[in-house]
Amino acid sequence: MRGLEGRRVIVTGGASGIGRASVCRLVAEGCTVGIFDRNAAGAEETAALAAGPGRAASYLVDVADHAGVAAALSRFEQDFGPVEGLAHIAGWDRPQLFLETEPSLWDEVVRINLYGTLVMHHVVVRGMAERGAGRVVNVASDAGRVGSSGEAVYAACKGGVIAFTKTLARELAGRGVTLNTLCPGPTETPLFSSFVQDSPFGARLAEGIQRAIPLSRLGQPEDCAGMIAFLLSEDAAYITGQTISVSGGLTMQ
């Protein structure tokens, strides 16, 4: 893809699943990637797995910790230079029917999925706007477009990520920064396995979902990694404020 070689990109959630596949794809495209994740061992494993021509380095970060994100960004920029792209992929949920949830669960889901998104942009996108160039991809979820039983608060956060991305895309269009949202459908990752395991709808959920997907299979992390690389590249220079599902056709909007 055009313009990716040598690009400096931060990837949150790069220790696992879609984030790990995205780091591997971006390093294969020649990017220098900073992996921001709270799972230090997983992030280091990803950095070791990712095969060049690019490179990856890991930073222990909680995306909802403003000072921690600022410190990690400053270390990345000292190590490699100004950041040019952000793939904000980190996310978390524990499925439960809404009326059975406690506010402590809402706090954690909102902190990671919504507040963490605000923090990442407040810290990382500021420099891009000042320099007049940047590409951002936020990973939300089809739950934020069409709802998902057992994921009410998570879906609310992901809907918030979509609206936030569109708003910043408007605010920053004149400053050379594009922002788009990718909504994965059901994708085989550790998060999806725990969703199926903990779901109030039981273990047959994955089978049922698979039957409903027009392309007849669950997503793989690499299915999203290609779209993330594209949206960070110069091939996507004229695309901003868009929401794109990578879901095997499960949702068509």
Ligand X SMILES: NC(=O)c1ccc[n+]([C@@H]2O[C@H](COP(=O)([O-])OP(=O)(O)OC[C@H]3O[C@@H](n4cnc5c(N)ncnc54)[C@H](O)[C@@H]3O)[C@@H](O)[C@H]2O)c1
Catalytic (active-site) positions: 154
100 phi and psi, to 5 degrees?
-100, -5
Rounded Cα distance between 222 and 49, Å, is 14
Rounded Cα distance between 44 and 222, Å, is 19
Q: Coil, strand, or helix at residue 94? A: coil
Considering beta carbons, is residue 113 or 240 the nearer one to ligand X? 113
Considering beta carbons, is residue 53 or 200 the nearer one to ligand X? 200
Task: Please state the closest distance from residue 37 (CB atom) to ligand X, in A.
Answer: 4
Rounded Cα distance between 54 and 97, Å, is 43
Considering beta carbons, is residue 76 or 175 the nearer one to ligand X? 76
Task: Please state the closest distance from residue 64 (CB atom) to ligand X, in A.
Answer: 5
Interface residues with ligand X (CB under 6 A)?
A: 12-13, 15-19, 37-39, 42, 61-64, 89-92, 112, 116, 139, 141, 184, 186-187, 189-192
Considering beta carbons, is residue 164 or 192 the nearer one to ligand X? 192
Task: Please state the closest distance from residue 251 (CB atom) to ligand X, in A.
Answer: 11
Other Cβ atoms less than 10 A from the Cβ of 108: the count is 15
Contact 188, 220 (CB under 8 A): yes
Tell me which residue of 213, 225, 162 sits closest to 13, measured CA to CA. 225
Task: Please state the closest distance from residue 243 (CB atom) to ligand X, in A.
Answer: 13
What kind and span of H or E run contains 134? Answer: strand 134-139
